[in-house]
Amino acid sequence: MTEPQPTAIHRQDYTPPDYRIETVDLEFDLEPSSTRVKARLAITAAHDRSGGARPLVLHGDALELVSVALDGRVLGAGDYRLDDKGLTIAAPPPAFTLDIETRIDPAANTQLSGLYVSSNVFCTQCEAEGFRRITYFLDRPDVMATYRTTIRADRAAYPVLLSNGNLVEQRQVEGGRHVAVWHDPFPKPSYLFALVAGDLACNEDRFTTRSGRDVTLRIFVEHGKQARTGYAMDCLKRAMRWDEERFGLEYDLDLFNIVAVSDFNMGAMENKSLNVFNDKYILADPEIATDADYAGIETVVAHEYFHNWTGDRITCRDWFQLSLKEGLTVFRDREFSSDMRSRPVKRIQDVRSLRARQFPEDAGPLAHPVRPDSYIEINNFYTATIYDKGAEVIGMMQAILGQDGFRKGMDLYVQRHDGQAVTCDDFAAAMADANGVDLGQFKRWYSQAGTPELAIEGSYDTRAGAYEMTVTQRCPPTPGQPDKAPMHIPLAMGLLDAQGQDIRLRLDGETADAAAPGRVLAVTAPRQTFRFVNVPQPKALSVNRGFSAPVNVTLAQGGAERAFLMAHDSDAFARWEAGQQFATDLLLRRAGEIQRGAPTPFDPAFVEAVGQILRDESLEPAFAAEAIALPGEDYIAERMDIVDVEAIHSAREALRQAIATSLRADLERIVAANASPGPYTPDAAAAGRRALRNVALGYLAASAAEAPGTADRLLAAYRAADNMTDRMAALRLLVDLDGPQRQAALDDFHDRFRDDALVIDKWLALQALSALPDTLARVTALLGHPAFALEKPNKVRALIGSFTAGNPLRYHAADGSGYAFHADRTLALDPINPQVAARLLAPLGRWQRFDAGRQAKMKAALARILAAPKLSPDVYEIASKSLA
């Protein structure tokens, strides 16, 4: 490689900024291919000048500089220096005004960072470092300024002009143009700046805050789509009320705007009072959105709204602290969704996704701490670790401090740091100080990467009436961290008696009133024994209830004990978990037998336990749906020494068939009993019935070979569906069955929804997820379909991302065709949108987990990517770390 390799920056090198920017006055003259931006910055030196003036280094990227003036004096080429990192003024005065004019090309901005055009709408994405693609600036989160933004644009093409804060004035000007002026009274970092201009329709509503502030709420979308914004608006109002009630946090302006755009790198963005969303997380009606889509909208709308306090009012000092706002805000949106829906079901779904995305990340070459120590490209660090493990860390604090103690900590955090850019240490200090506890050891969760492993053994001493549980913890080595110190792990557990009741537990040395039916133990040492006294003979041990800590547990439990927990544990999560671990044991054993060519029958106790769940009318349907669904292929893969995707797939299919064969009558009854009762409603209870019915239908379809009418039945279910959830469920099963029914349904789906980009994404994804052997050929052909475009992240994720990350069986084809495809697509996408290209790369980095043949092919694909000229820092970082 001839080009200089991108370099890493380190958390330890943080220094406060040399200059402050107090106010920013922006003027945009919008034209798609040539937009003029004037910025007037009021700048003061942050240091005393006894040691002389320090240079002012403003960031800039892809900017054309038109002019720069200091205190009104136009600077000549000798007064500043321009390079590819930005603009430097060697020795500016202690306080001055800088006027900068730049020209940018939003229409050519395919990276979708900075100011860009999406379907004729101008919009911005400035997190993390997009503002420097608009003007030269101290583009770092600890520089907080108040912004005044003037937008000038063609009135007919862009009737709606939006920015942060309050609208100060709007008027028409000559040449068919108009002007809007916005002012945001709250100081904010540049990454929270936003601008939108376009011809948009709007759904308007109101919300009165607890203290009586009347807030106007607006959701802007493409014309004709207003009717699909009702659910998002309802979520927004519920989120606003919830944050007042749960955390005492109230909205702080008279206006809150959301804009939905179709081209967006991520889910959504919490710009102050002007959230910009991927329209996937706004638009919904029963025809086009599934229950999962509705739940996603509820979560993301709430998440971005909650950022107003945890992100906007209190932001991050530097990007190493990203989880300060993201982990905390994910924790908050999870609590919200748990209160709106079923708490155990939400927990189960979050743990499924943690295990599918974060645990593999933590076990691979891209493992990093929740508070990373270094990065090359910050956009690569919007990861499952920062977001989801970060949320687990916050959740563990709440488990340790209790909900009231946690609230005290939040109150102190807001009181201390409102208006500041702070660190994860500041957050932990507020929690510790408000509760008078020491979180010193606990904070290793921020600094140590890797998923801790807990080996647990229990033994009962009949004579003494005592139960001893010994816990050994170990955190595997991760890049740059060969040795780990013991963590503080809050471990929720209980013991069940023969009737399935919780035994009251008291530790040796505790007084009798400490006894409680379940305990949260503080696991802090490498090896620790907990001795419970006055214990009657227990029947089963239940550990990590509610998934109280994000760890892997090894606990030797037989099928009978797991089945007992499935039926009786007082903790719903633990009942689900017992079933998952039981199924995992069976699937791992069967996968091994398949490799040796000698399968033996499955333990009937598991199928019987599934049958009991199907017949237990007292269970919430949404929970029953989760409890009978087998662990995913990637979870089984994580548990195998050398991943064998084919053996895993066959083992899982065989267990599905065994369940279908033994429980056919129960499954048919569930399908019949949970048929759609009337018009579709997206509430959790109705969604739960659909989920249960569709899991049952999935089992019945698993026996396609025995029941030849299956494809016809699925096609009929597809045709009869009156909502997208049921339609997709039938089609998902049908795409795995080769035949005319599959094609008929796919064609019908395409023709019915050809004009709905979001639904066509589902059509692309379903085909990419198919288990049929020709899936890669079909995916390759779909790259040429008019509905596909590399410029559109939603399309890329739907077709390429679903195949590479969601179809292990076909992606890991032994001939390496999936890897070659992945490398080709990465190289084609990188020059267009490096952020999205880099994010898709993770599956190739898991090569260590596969057999020698696949390893060689995966590494070759990575090496081919790395050898390409002009690679972005984004893809370079992921590919090089993946090969290291």
The answer for residues whose C-beta is within 8 angstroms of residue 5's C-beta and 6 or more apart is: 876, 880
Nearer to Zn ion, 326 or 577 (CB): 326
* Tokens found for residue 724: 């997208």
Please tell me the distance from the alpha carbon of residue 597 to that of residue 650, in angstroms, as a whole number: 12
Please tell me the distance from the alpha carbon of residue 411 to that of residue 432, in angstroms, as a whole number: 12
Nearer to Zn ion, 329 or 473 (CB): 329
Write each residue from 527 to 546 as x if it is in contact with ligand ARG (CB under 6 A), else as -, in one continuous string.
--------------------
370's contact among Zn ion, ligand ARG, none, with CB below 5 to 8 A by partner kind, is: none
Among 135, 229, 257, 379, which residue sits at the site for ligand ARG (rule: CB under 6 A)?
A: 379
Asked if residues 138 and 17 have their Cβ atoms less than 8 Å apart, the reply is yes
Q: Which of 270, 298, 304, 335 is catalytic?
A: 304
Residues 737-766 that bind Zn ion (CB under 5 A): none
First-last CA distance in the chain: 16
| Strand 255-261, strand 274-278: pairing | parallel
Residue 382 is a binding residue for ligand ARG (CB under 6 A): yes
The answer for residues whose C-beta is within 8 angstroms of residue 834's C-beta and 6 or more apart is: 111, 872, 873, 874, 875
Please tell me the distance from the alpha carbon of residue 628 to that of residue 619, in angstroms, as a whole number: 12
> Is 196 strand, coil or helix?
strand
Write each residue from 305 to 334 as x if it is in contact with Zn ion (CB under 5 A), else as -, in one continuous string.
---------------------x--x-----
Stretch of 124-132, 424-432, 744-752, 823-831 contacting ligand ARG, by CB under 6 A: 124-132
Residues 249-308 that bind Zn ion (CB under 5 A): none
> Is 41 strand, coil or helix?
strand
Residue 557 is a binding residue for ligand ARG (CB under 6 A): no
Please tell me the distance from the alpha carbon of residue 257 to that of residue 304, in angstroms, as a whole number: 11
For residue 215, list its beta bridge partners.
207
Among 142, 304, 362, 426, which residue sits at the site for ligand ARG (rule: CB under 6 A)?
A: 304
CA atoms within 13 A on the CB side of 308: 26
* Tokens found for residue 252: 């702080």
| 222 among known catalytic residues | no
Nearer to Zn ion, 275 or 329 (CB): 329
Min separation Cβ 545 and Zn ion, Å: 28
| Strand 421-422, strand 315-316: pairing | parallel
Residues 479-518 that bind Zn ion (CB under 5 A): none
Nearer to ligand ARG, 126 or 572 (CB): 126
Min separation Cβ 75 and ligand ARG, Å: 32
Min separation Cβ 640 and Zn ion, Å: 33
Residues 86-105 that bind ligand ARG (CB under 6 A): none
Please tell me the distance from the alpha carbon of residue 780 to that of residue 810, in angstroms, as a whole number: 13
| Exposure b/e, 767-793, CB count within 10 A at least 16 = b | bbbbeeeebbebbeebbeeebbebebb
Radius of gyration in angstroms for the set of CA atoms belonging to the chain, rounded to a whole number: 28
Write each residue from 825 to 864 as x if it is in contact with ligand ARG (CB under 6 A), else as -, in one continuous string.
----------x-----------------------------
Stretch of 120-128, 177-185, 546-554, 711-719 contacting ligand ARG, by CB under 6 A: 120-128
Nearer to Zn ion, 269 or 728 (CB): 269
The answer for residues whose C-beta is within 8 angstroms of residue 600's C-beta and 6 or more apart is: 593
The answer for residues whose C-beta is within 8 angstroms of residue 575's C-beta and 6 or more apart is: 565, 566, 567, 568, 569, 627
Min separation Cβ 487 and ligand ARG, Å: 26
Among 25, 61, 127, 298, which residue sits at the site for ligand ARG (rule: CB under 6 A)?
A: 127
Nearer to ligand ARG, 133 or 148 (CB): 133
| Strand 160-163, strand 145-154: pairing | unpaired
580's contact among Zn ion, ligand ARG, none, with CB below 5 to 8 A by partner kind, is: none
Residue nearest to ligand ARG (CB): 382
448's contact among ligand ARG, Zn ion, none, with CB below 5 to 8 A by partner kind, is: none
Residue 328 is a binding residue for ligand ARG (CB under 6 A): no
- Let me know how long the chain is: 884
Residues 265-294 that bind ligand ARG (CB under 6 A): 265-266, 268-270
Please tell me the distance from the alpha carbon of residue 765 to that of residue 806, in angstroms, as a whole number: 9
Count residues contacting Zn ion (CB under 5 A)?
2
Sign of CA dihedral 354, 358, 364, 369: negative
Min separation Cβ 311 and ligand ARG, Å: 7
Nearer to ligand ARG, 648 or 836 (CB): 836
Chain residues binding ligand ARG by CB under 6 A are 125, 127-128, 265-266, 268-270, 303-304, 326, 379, 382, 835
Write out the catalytic residue numbers: 304
Chain residues binding Zn ion by CB under 5 A are 326, 329
